[in-house]
A and B are shown apart, each in its own frame.
Chain A
Amino acid sequence: MDFYLVQFLSGLAQAATLFLVASGLSIIFGVTRIVNFAHGSFYMLGAYLAWTFVERWGSDVLGFWGGVLLAALLVGALGAVMEVLLLRRLYRSPELFQLLATFGVVLLVQDAAFGVWGPEDLLGRRAPLLKGTVDILGRPFPLYDLVLIALGPAVLGLLWLLFNRTRWGTLVRAATQDREMTAALGVDQARLFTGVLFLGSALAGLGGALQVPREAVNLHMDMAMVVEAFVVVVVGGMGSLPGAFLASLLIGQLQAFGILVFPQITLVLVFLFMAVVLVLRPYGLLGRKEEAPPPAAAAGPPFAPTGRRAGLAALAALAALAAVPLLAGEYALIVLTEVAILALAAASLHLLVGFGGLVSFGHAAYFGLGAYGAALLVKHVAAPMPLALLGAPVLAGAAALIAGWFCVRRSGLYFAMLTLAFAQIAWSITFQWYGVTGGDNGILGVWPPAWAASRAVYYEVTLALVAAALWALRRAAFAPFGYTLRAGRDSPLRAEAVGIDVRRHQWLGFALAGTAAGLAGGLYAFAKGSVFPTLLAVPQSVDALVMVLMGGIQTVAGPVVGAAAFHLLRTTLMASEHWRVILGLVIVALVLLFPQGIAGFARRLWNRGAEA
């Protein structure tokens, strides 16, 4: 009994931090309708800044709490700066662009934190006067955690007062419901939004700062926390503060007790919980049904099936690529093989994002599962390569069929979050199921057999399979199936009204995309000779989105061009230790300056030429 009580209390303490961060995310989302990936980065910065201040002044009570507060305020100011420089330009952009742009900020902050505080975990000083423990039914419990437990409801109360008893709060709530009407009544939205970003980011910073006495500060805090905070916000209901509070409590307890029962899969538990909640209560525990969602992710001009000339051009390009081994060296072949594989992965994602308007934030899961499928077949049953390459898309496709069933139940941001959740589940299985997957050591020695061992032969094999798969994806995209997907993207209600089962088509599209990504993953495993859990991780999913975006969402050739450009850029940048900054800046620049992508840009030049 006493043991469980202590466990319960630690769950509450964890919930308090979770609530601080999630409430900030929820407030920002409510007003700006932007899911701010950088929120986790602000949490991390809060922790780092507080660590620095507390090291310097934290020996007495005033210095410690002053340092914590200062860290939170600085982080809030940074959030306000981000609003002015970046978000303000994105309020009318498709969700995909907003998510990617804030992910660019994640990369920038990571590099900055790495530069300032270095790669080591930093252990902070403990809070003066609160270093000890209290006896709870004979068991020691940290005094500091009791303070945290009290802080959660206190912050909820203060926020409630702010939003319900001040003019500023009333204006924020009004803007949450109808931005345009609020502006027409004379409210300066720009200033309101800057204020909201300040408040939300400061809450994240405070959450991070308060963690300093509890756990080591490190460079992984950002993604871990932002994903959890998303879960809390989605489970509680987007934009609902009481919902976020309730969800924090539940998830805090789930973690505290889950670790006793299933120490291996606490992450999976949290995401499963979210998936179940979303299926049972689509708008979260205390969320309200939203009015018509903003325009689809990337609605744009319809794709025209490319003519015979373009088909011939593609064949010519394929022939030229097939002839490359005659001229090129080993290294060029390695890079080209990877480009071909990534092109397939990007094209499969493009089927969802471009044609279906379904922005998946977890597409790497199917790529990674394909890679693991092939590697496991080789490792555990010594399967020959063709069999392993067949197993890859089968495993990934089956996983996509299951995940897709849940995901297509929701659209927009919820869809993105659900795909992210399933990717995290898949990731944690590969990461934590040590006996089968080797955990973070991965699986090594997945090489092609003797006949395909030369780089040139494996390149040709890859090229042939990728070309065939791309052709199949195109066929699907321009078959009635593809047109239905687009109808679901552009006018779901109308499509439903004429009797098209949009959801079913989206489900099949999801499975098809997953299968294709799985084939790419299988090819990747043999190209690299090894697989690791990072293949399924969030950054990998974001890379795939960047490829699609780089190539241009509204063009059919986009993903192939984008994958080539992205991979070549990355291979040249790998040497630089600042590749994160560069990638982050590339993302932000793409979103702000070239939203139509490389292929879209080229097409526009081409059309202009044709008109002249």
Chain B
Amino acid sequence: MTALLTVDGLHAWYGRAHILQGVGLTVGRGEVVALMGRNGAGKSTTMKAVMGLLAERRGRVAFAGTDVSAWPPHRIARLGLGYVPEDRRVFAELTVRENLEVGRQPPRAGAPLWTPDRLYALFPNLAEMKDRRGARMSGGEQQMLTLARTLMGNPSLLLLDEPSEGLAPRIVQQMADAVRTLKAEGLSVLLSEQNLGFAAAVADRAVVIEKGVVRWDGAMAALLEDGDARRAYLAV
């Protein structure tokens, strides 16, 4: 099976700070991969670099058999890569309905097709507030909206940055259910997480990074067994 996403020798800088120092990872079709590591390890930076959102980066990113390393973000998104940022970034002045509209892209062969109604079914909370502005939603509702908005682009692979961060346990549970539903629909996911429980509940494989370098790569079950690696890189 060829990987859907291949990242190879990825470097990224913020000003002079060399943050990513040669990250390499793959995500196969239908696979859920957890990108793990402590706060500041470079998880979010990896996702932004893959998405083409960083000005200073080097390395190869291939998606669906196409080298997208030099592409601008909107073209990468249109190829079927969906990005859900950690800081949510809902459009505060737009309603739920309008937020979804911004994410809408034409249907894509080989990827699940989403409509607002299907998304409202997936996230019943959103269905009750279609005309509410983003600014007036709770953190958990915003997190659902961000995910739903990206799904409107009918992506074949999701970059999901810390979906459980700062959310109440009940909402975390809902997010985990949603990720499993997405996987069942055939979506591939690269998920960044610090919460081992969440990752263990949804991921097939884990890639652990520290200071911008991949330290561990293997099956999720193996990471759960490997106490040394967990203590060294995750502090759990």
B153 contacts across to A, CB distance below 8 A:
185-186
Smallest CB–CB gap between B175 and chain A, Å?
19
Excluding A173-B91, A184-B73, A185-B103, 15 further A-B contacts by CB distance (< 8 Å) are: A167-B104, A170-B94, A170-B98, A180-B73, A181-B85, A181-B89, A183-B53, A183-B77, A184-B83, A185-B74, A185-B83, A185-B150, A186-B78, A186-B153, A187-B102
The answer to whether A184 and B53 touch across the interface, beta carbons within 8 angstroms, is yes
B93 contacts across to A, CB distance below 8 A:
173, 176-177
User: For chain A residues 520-564, which have a beta carbon within 8 Å of chain B?
Assistant: none
B102 contacts across to A, CB distance below 8 A:
170-171, 174, 182, 185, 187
The answer to whether A174 and B91 touch across the interface, beta carbons within 8 angstroms, is yes
The answer to whether A189 and B74 touch across the interface, beta carbons within 8 angstroms, is yes
Task: Indicate the member of B94, B102, B103 with the most A CB atoms within 10 Å.
Answer: B102
Bitwise, B69-107 to A at CB < 8 A (1) or not (0) is 000111001100001010001011110001101111100
Does chain A have a CB within 8 A of B43?
A: no
Does chain A have a CB within 8 A of B149?
A: yes
Does chain A have a CB within 8 A of B23?
A: no
User: For the complex, what is the distance from the CA of A184 to the CA of B99, rounded to whole Å?
Assistant: 13
| CB within 8 Å for A185 and B98 given contacts A180-B53, A180-B73 | no
Task: Indicate the member of B83, B91, B153 with the most A CB atoms within 10 Å.
Answer: B91
User: For the complex, what is the distance from the CA of A479 to the CA of B94, rounded to whole Å?
Assistant: 48
User: For the complex, what is the distance from the CA of A170 to the CA of B98, rounded to whole Å?
Assistant: 7
Does chain A have a CB within 8 A of B61?
A: no
A178 contacts across to B, CB distance below 8 A:
89, 91
User: For chain B residues 144-165, which have a beta carbon within 8 Å of chain A?
Assistant: 149-150, 153
Q: Nearest chain-B residue to A187 (Cβ)?
A: B74
Task: Indicate the member of A180, A181, A184, A188 with the most B CB atoms within 10 Å.
Answer: A184
The answer to whether A174 and B89 touch across the interface, beta carbons within 8 angstroms, is no
| A contact face: mostly helix, strand, loop, or mixed | helix
User: For the complex, what is the distance from the CA of A187 to the CA of B22, rounded to whole Å?
Assistant: 29
User: For chain A residues 147-180, which have a beta carbon within 8 Å of chain B?
Assistant: 167, 170-171, 173-174, 176-178, 180
User: For the complex, what is the distance from the CA of A186 to the CA of B106, rounded to whole Å?
Assistant: 11
A185 contacts across to B, CB distance below 8 A:
74, 77, 83, 102-103, 149-150, 153
A residues lining the B interface (CB < 8 Å): 167, 170-171, 173-174, 176-178, 180-189
Smallest CB–CB gap between B146 and chain A, Å?
9
The answer to whether B98 and A183 touch across the interface, beta carbons within 8 angstroms, is no
Does chain A have a CB within 8 A of B207?
A: no
Smallest CB–CB gap between B16 and chain A, Å?
11
Task: Indicate the member of B73, B89, B93, B101 with the most A CB atoms within 10 Å.
Answer: B73
A189 contacts across to B, CB distance below 8 A:
74
The answer to whether A183 and B89 touch across the interface, beta carbons within 8 angstroms, is no
User: For the complex, what is the distance from the CA of A611 to the CA of B224, rounded to whole Å?
Assistant: 52
Does chain A have a CB within 8 A of B220?
A: no
The answer to whether B94 and A183 touch across the interface, beta carbons within 8 angstroms, is no
| CB within 8 Å for A186 and B74 given contacts A167-B101, A171-B102 | yes
User: For the complex, what is the distance from the CA of A135 to the CA of B93, rounded to whole Å?
Assistant: 45
User: For chain B residues 40-80, which have a beta carbon within 8 Å of chain A?
Assistant: 51, 53, 72-74, 77-78
The answer to whether B94 and A186 touch across the interface, beta carbons within 8 angstroms, is no
| CB within 8 Å for A177 and B53 given contacts A170-B102, A183-B73, A185-B149 | no
Smallest CB–CB gap between B111 and chain A, Å?
13
User: For the complex, what is the distance from the CA of A176 to the CA of B94, rounded to whole Å?
Assistant: 11
User: For the complex, what is the distance from the CA of A182 to the CA of B93, rounded to whole Å?
Assistant: 14
User: For the complex, what is the distance from the CA of A529 to the CA of B220, rounded to whole Å?
Assistant: 84
Q: Nearest chain-A residue to B51 (Cβ)?
A: A184
The answer to whether B92 and A170 touch across the interface, beta carbons within 8 angstroms, is no
B150 contacts across to A, CB distance below 8 A:
185
Q: Nearest chain-A residue to B153 (Cβ)?
A: A186
Q: Nearest chain-A residue to B159 (Cβ)?
A: A184
| CB within 8 Å for A183 and B91 given contacts A171-B102, A174-B102 | no
User: For the complex, what is the distance from the CA of A186 to the CA of B78, rounded to whole Å?
Assistant: 5
Q: Nearest chain-B residue to A291 (Cβ)?
A: B92
The answer to whether A183 and B105 touch across the interface, beta carbons within 8 angstroms, is no
Q: Nearest chain-A residue to B98 (Cβ)?
A: A170
A170 contacts across to B, CB distance below 8 A:
94, 98, 101-102
B74 contacts across to A, CB distance below 8 A:
183-189
* From B72, B85, B99, contact of A183 by CB (8 A): B72
Q: List 23 A-B contacts (CB under 8 A).
A: A167-B101, A174-B102, A176-B93, A177-B91, A177-B93, A177-B94, A180-B53, A180-B73, A181-B89, A182-B102, A183-B53, A183-B73, A183-B74, A184-B51, A184-B53, A184-B74, A184-B77, A185-B102, A185-B103, A186-B78, A186-B103, A186-B153, A188-B74
A186 contacts across to B, CB distance below 8 A:
74, 77-78, 103, 105, 153
Smallest CB–CB gap between A477 and chain B, Å?
25
Q: Nearest chain-A residue to B102 (Cβ)?
A: A174
B103 contacts across to A, CB distance below 8 A:
185-186
User: For the complex, what is the distance from the CA of A39 to the CA of B171, rounded to whole Å?
Assistant: 49
A174 contacts across to B, CB distance below 8 A:
91, 94, 98-99, 102
Smallest CB–CB gap between A206 and chain B, Å?
26
A188 contacts across to B, CB distance below 8 A:
74
Q: Which 8 A-B pairs have the closest CB atoms?
A: A186-B77, A183-B73, A174-B102, A181-B89, A186-B78, A184-B83, A183-B74, A174-B91
Smallest CB–CB gap between A194 and chain B, Å?
14
B104 contacts across to A, CB distance below 8 A:
167
B72 contacts across to A, CB distance below 8 A:
183
Smallest CB–CB gap between A229 and chain B, Å?
23
User: For the complex, what is the distance from the CA of A581 to the CA of B109, rounded to whole Å?
Assistant: 53
B53 contacts across to A, CB distance below 8 A:
180, 183-184
Q: Nearest chain-A residue to B152 (Cβ)?
A: A185
| CB within 8 Å for A177 and B101 given contacts A186-B74, A186-B153 | no
User: For the complex, what is the distance from the CA of A418 to the CA of B43, rounded to whole Å?
Assistant: 43
Smallest CB–CB gap between A29 and chain B, Å?
16
B99 contacts across to A, CB distance below 8 A:
174
Task: Indicate the member of B53, B74, B101, B149 with the most A CB atoms within 10 Å.
Answer: B74
User: For the complex, what is the distance from the CA of A435 to the CA of B63, rounded to whole Å?
Assistant: 75
Task: Indicate the member of A177, A185, A186 with the most B CB atoms within 10 Å.
Answer: A186
Smallest CB–CB gap between A470 and chain B, Å?
33
| CB within 8 Å for A177 and B92 given contacts A170-B98, A186-B153 | yes
Smallest CB–CB gap between B97 and chain A, Å?
9
B89 contacts across to A, CB distance below 8 A:
178, 181
User: For the complex, what is the distance from the CA of A176 to the CA of B102, rounded to whole Å?
Assistant: 12
User: For the complex, what is the distance from the CA of A348 to the CA of B199, rounded to whole Å?
Assistant: 59
A167 contacts across to B, CB distance below 8 A:
101, 104
User: For the complex, what is the distance from the CA of A183 to the CA of B53, rounded to whole Å?
Assistant: 9
Smallest CB–CB gap between A301 and chain B, Å?
11
Smallest CB–CB gap between B55 and chain A, Å?
8
User: For the complex, what is the distance from the CA of A170 to the CA of B102, rounded to whole Å?
Assistant: 7
User: For chain B residues 103-136, which have a beta carbon within 8 Å of chain A?
Assistant: 103-105
Q: Nearest chain-A residue to B149 (Cβ)?
A: A185
Smallest CB–CB gap between B147 and chain A, Å?
12
User: For the complex, what is the distance from the CA of A180 to the CA of B51, rounded to whole Å?
Assistant: 11
Smallest CB–CB gap between A530 and chain B, Å?
51
